[in-house]
């Protein structure tokens, strides 16, 4: 049996994919407080990246690390939703999956903080 959602092609597929992506962002924003906090932080940091960065490479690194945090948070939320869909029962593998996804978010935040701290240090401590 074929998947009825896999037969779409061309512009129809792109439009529907965009709709699903926007739905995902809305769900994350309204349902995940961590994502909402990171969005508001990104609203400040992304424009600041253009002010702080001295070259396109620095701007890309500063903005990119902020976007990586958002991406990893979305993946973390997706993993948590899939685990919860299977069962709310406490299980070692469920805990492991959620903890690993949470660790990925932590590492992305540390990367972002490190890049921003380095850029700030370089900018204001020549």
Active site residue 73: yes
Q: Please identify which of the residues 32, 38, 58, 73 carries the catalytic annotation.
A: 73
Cβ within 8 Å of residue 67, ≥6 positions away: 42
CA distance 114 to 103: 16
Compute the distance between CA of residue 78 and CA of residue 73 in angstroms, rounded to an integer. 9
Q: Which residues are catalytic?
A: 73
């Amino acid at each position: 049996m074929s998947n009825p959602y896999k037969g779409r092609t061309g512009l129809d597929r792109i439009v529907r994919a965009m709709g699903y992506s926007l739905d995902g962002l809305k769900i994350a924003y309204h349902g995940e407080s961590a994502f909402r906090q990171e969005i508001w932080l990104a609203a400040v940091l992304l424009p600041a990246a253009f002010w702080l960065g001295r070259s396109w490479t620095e701007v890309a690194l500063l903005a990119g690390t902020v976007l990586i945090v958002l991406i990893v948070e979305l993946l973390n939320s997706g993993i948590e939703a899939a685990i919860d869909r299977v069962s709310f029962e406490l299980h070692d593998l469920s805990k492991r999956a959620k903890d690993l996804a949470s660790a990925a978010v932590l590492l992305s935040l540390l990367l972002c903080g490190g890049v921003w701290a380095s850029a700030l240090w370089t900018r204001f401590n020549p």
